[in-house]
Amino acid sequence: MYDFDDRERETDMAIASQFVTAGALMRMRRDAGGLVCTTTPNRLAAELGLPFLSDVFWGMGERYPLLRTMAPTDIPYDGTKSSFGITINHRKTYTGITDEDRALTIREYAETIFSDSPADERRRMLGANFRAPGHVHLLNASPRILKARRGHTELCTALMYMAGVHPSATICEMMGDRGGAADKAGAMEYAERNGLPFVTGDDVVSAWEGYLERTGEDL
């Protein structure tokens, strides 16, 4: 998933969170090399009480004034606050950082938040089965997806909605060989060489409008 020429100009590898395996994470770690994160739709994050990390820091500002001075108000490519949420480990993991541990955490997280249980039961399950902080970085999508913010969090979450799977994506930025992000042409070549679709932000935005019209959903 490449975002836009006028935004990050970065490509993320992405997979539906419910299908994450240790092998998929190993590939992301070796072939992409960025930070592995897992997205949550905004409405679901709000329902379950999963905060933006910047809000947690702001709320602790009286006790730790430095946190307020570090508020992410000057992100050069983004007019909104960071999408970072909390970090988690499943309680059945050991250190939480291995491919096996993170795969378990991500799959169980997706299964829990999208279960048919009432919200209060899902909140209980999250507390019982996960601990924070951990080694899986959660990302909360913005409200009215792809309206106020068009980052990889929103683009990849929207893609999962349109694919008909649980709308949580696990993503990882592709790094280049010279210390920066992988360039677009290099990422496209990697996708073609490995039989993977290469999708752009423009592709998703265009398809998303049609998806909302067809389904009548308000997301």
Please give the positions annotated as active site: 12, 37, 77, 89, 135, 173
CB atoms within 10 A of CB 119: 12
- The CA distance from 164 to 158, in Å, is 10
- The CA distance from 197 to 192, in Å, is 7
Cβ burial of 168 (10 Å; 0-12, 13-18, 19+) is buried
Residue 21 phi/psi, 5-degree rounding, is -125, 165
What's the CA angle centered on 135, arms 125 and 95, to 5 degrees? 90
- The CA distance from 118 to 153, in Å, is 25
Cβ burial of 197 (10 Å; 0-12, 13-18, 19+) is exposed
- The CA distance from 84 to 66, in Å, is 18
- Asked if 146 and 158 count as a contact pair (C-beta separation under 8 A), the reply is yes
3-class state of residue 3 by DSSP: coil
